[in-house]
Structure 1
Amino acid sequence: SEPFIQWDALPPQDTSAGGAGAGGREEGPALVVLLGWLGARQKHLRRYADLYRDRGVGSVRFVVPVRELLGLDLGRRVERRVADLSAEIAAWCDADRSRTLLFHTFSNTGWLAYGAVLENLQSRADIIERIKGCIVDSAPVLEIRPEVWAAGFSAAMLKKSSSLTGPSADSPDGSTLNGALNKVTSVSELTKPSWGETFLLSTLQKFFEIVLHLPDVNRRMHKVLSVLSDKQPPCPQFYLYSSADRVIPAECVESFINMQRSLGVSVSAHNFVSSPHVDHYRSFPHLYSAKIDEFLKVCSPVSV
């Protein structure tokens, strides 16, 4: 099976020719931590790693297979993998005090992984202060909502056959005209779920109504959510979302944005309107890239 963690810049403990960063590429002063959506594979995050590489930013990719969160340990193995990632990030930072970090999270799984990394690094204020920005793609939902978890797992399990992540009816190349979308598609126009998908969603929702309220799971979840609500680094945040997202409701993202702004956090956002869940870059590659460029200019000393 593929690794949870994949470095596109050499981690400090591995500088051999056969290491994770083999190929002669040197580390840059900044590293973006790409935290994938549930069921994402390393190859899916490669396009984002390439996006940052072209801007002089190294990357490390983290993925969570569906089976790891459905296991009998209720996510404990994933927590250990996040702890390993946190340790590797800390080691990378410790090797050079001038190094800085960015986080780019995908869906609620990536966003919760970000919260777990922050929790693991709470004793390292010197590293937390080096986090210069966080990009949140297709998230978050702050409340523990079984229907959102059911939608996320259903989309991950059914992949391309899921109506929740179906293609947008907008222009396939994501073209824009004077900065506006050529065509806007309402949520109601997206693919309707099949009987099998409806049954799976219903079953998963009942499952998560039980699991998410188990005392141990609920306590661990609230601990991470508390960090994400009140203890994020004082760096700019950028939310990329869509009104057509059928996994993470746009109003949940907007509610969290307003809450962070009320705390005095520098927050920017862009609603892609018609692209499905975690599909904004594929649907609108030029616009997505331009928005990342705009945000990187805000995240000094990270620059393009």
Structure 2
Amino acid sequence: MAGAADLDNLEYYIKFPSPNFNYSQPNGTGESDYVFVVNEEKIPVILLFGWAGCQDKYLAKYSQIYEDRGLITLRYTAPVKCLFWKRLQMITIGERLVKLLVDLNFENHPIIVHCFSNGGAFLYQNFTLALEKSPKPIQVVSNYISPKKTFQSNPLENLKDDKNNCPQHFIYSKKDILIPYTDIEYFANYRKSLGIDVTTLCYETSPHVKHYTENKESYVSSVCNFLNKCLNGTN
């Protein structure tokens, strides 16, 4: 089931697996087939936070990775005006996203955040702040970032000391001319120094926003292997 909804102007897209989805068999796409062993009463929920200006049709290509494997996906991209000019509104957006998870009764499901670029990371920053005030605890088991375009406010700097100690995975490239790979490695190493389980996937040649497009099989394998590691023991 898929749909779009408006929660006080918060437009999101959610998709649930079909009732007869077979969790014991690979998806059969030939694209890094992978089976997740999940508790079907607490199916993992993947939150995809898009980059600044992201159109949902592009974010949907990434959510398909998880939907093909029977996971729940929820996509949301913060409005550009909130990312650049009305940043205080991001606090409210983070709170509404947390409220949405509670309203959907997802607080007992493993939550995985896949954020893209600084836009997604800035949203994640406000989401984690809202989690601290949530009336019900929500289990975030992992998050990972696909770097894209940099802008003035640097959420990676703000997230260096993020209180959430879940595993993190970073996907980036040395040929991305819009965000230095050294910035990503500095952040990843800093988080490692705090005792966080951090893994990385660095491509040598894929250009800006082309990591998945040009390295589809290894990208999907990396995501699925990381996700399986994080879900192990949480079902």
Q: Give deviations 1:42-62, integer Å, cap 9, x for gaps.
A: 111111111101122111111
1:67 is displaced (CA, Å) by: 4.0
Aligned CA-pair RMSD: 3.1
Shift of 1:68: 4.2
One-letter code aligned to 1:284? N
**Alignment match, 1:263:** 194
Give, in angstroms, the shift of residue 270 of structure 1. 0.5
Q: Which residue of 2 aligns with 1:120?
A: 130
Provide the TM-score with structure 1 as the length reference: 0.60
Query: CA 1:76–1:124 in 2, change beyond 3 Å: closer, same or farther?
Result: closer
| Aligned mate of 1:285, from 216, 219, 228 | 216
Instruction: Check the 8 A contact 2:51/2:148 in 1, yes or no.
Output: no
Report whether the alignment pairs 1:39 with 2:37: no
The equivalent position to 1:77 in structure 2, one of 89, 93, 113, is 89
Question: Cα offset for 1:254?
Answer: 0.2
Amino acid at match of 2:118: N
2:170 aligns to what SS in structure 1? Answer: strand
Instruction: Quickly say closer, same or farther: Cα 1:96–1:293, change in 2 above 3 A.
Output: closer
Q: Distance in 1 between matches of 2:20 and 2:81?
A: 33
- Find the partner of 1:9 among 4, 15, 21: 15
AA of the residue aligned to 1:133:
S
Indicate if the aligned counterparts of 1:107 and 1:248 stay in contact, CA closer than 8 A.
no
- Aligned pairs for 1:96-107 (under 5 A) are 98-107=108-117
2:71 corresponding residue in structure 1: 57
Kept after mapping to 2: 8 A contact 1:243/1:271: yes
Taking structure 1 as reference, are residues 67 and 53 closer, same or farther at Cα in structure 2, changes over 3 Å only? same
Superposition map of 1:146-295 within 5 A: 148-149=150-151, 226=158, 228-295=159-226
Q: 76-85 or 237-246, which moves further after superposition?
A: 76-85
Q: Equivalents in 2 of 1:251, 1:6: separation in Å? A: 33
CA contact (8 A) 2:90 2:126 kept: no
In structure 1, runs of 5+ residues without a counterpart are 11-20, 141-147, 150-207, 213-220
Counterpart of 2:97, as a letter, is L
Structure 1 residue identity aligned to 2:208: H
Structure ID, larger Rg: 1
Which 10-residue stretch deviates more, 111-120 or 27-36? Answer: 27-36
Offset at 1:89? 2.0
8 Å CA contact 1:115–1:225 kept in 2: the answer is no
Q: What SS is found at the alignment partner of 1:48?
A: helix
Instruction: Give the total of aligned pairs.
Output: 208
What residue number does 1:131 align with? 140
Letter in 2 for 1:276: P
Q: For residues 103 and 85 of structure 1, do their structure 2 counterparts lie closer, same or farther at Cα, with a shift above 3 Å needed?
A: same
Summarize the Cα distance change of 1:70–1:253 in structure 2 as closer, same or farther, 3 Å threshold: closer
Report the Cα offset of residue 9 of structure 1: 3.5
Contact 1:53–1:59 (CA<8 Å) still a contact in 2? yes
- Equivalent residue number for residue 88 of structure 1: 100
How far apart are the structure 2 equivalents of 1:75 and 1:83? 14
SS across alignment from 1:87: helix
Higher helix share: 1
Q: Is the 8 A contact 2:101 2:107 kept in 1?
A: no
| Structure 1 counterpart SS, 2:207 | coil
Deviation at 1:41, TM superposition (A): 1.2
In 2, Cα distance between the equivalents of 1:283 and 1:299? 26
Shift, 1:6, TM fit: 2.0
Q: Which runs of 5+ in 2 are unaligned?
A: 22-40
Deviation at 1:98, TM superposition (A): 3.7
Query: Aligned with 1:234: secondary structure?
Result: coil
Give per-residue Cα distances to partners, 1:28-75, cap 9 Å, x unaligned: 61101100000101111111111101122111111134344454xx32
Q: Which moved more, 1:77-86 or 1:235-244?
A: 77-86
Letter in 2 for 1:108: N
TM-score, scaled relative to structure 2: 0.76
Give 1:127 deviation, angstroms.
3.0
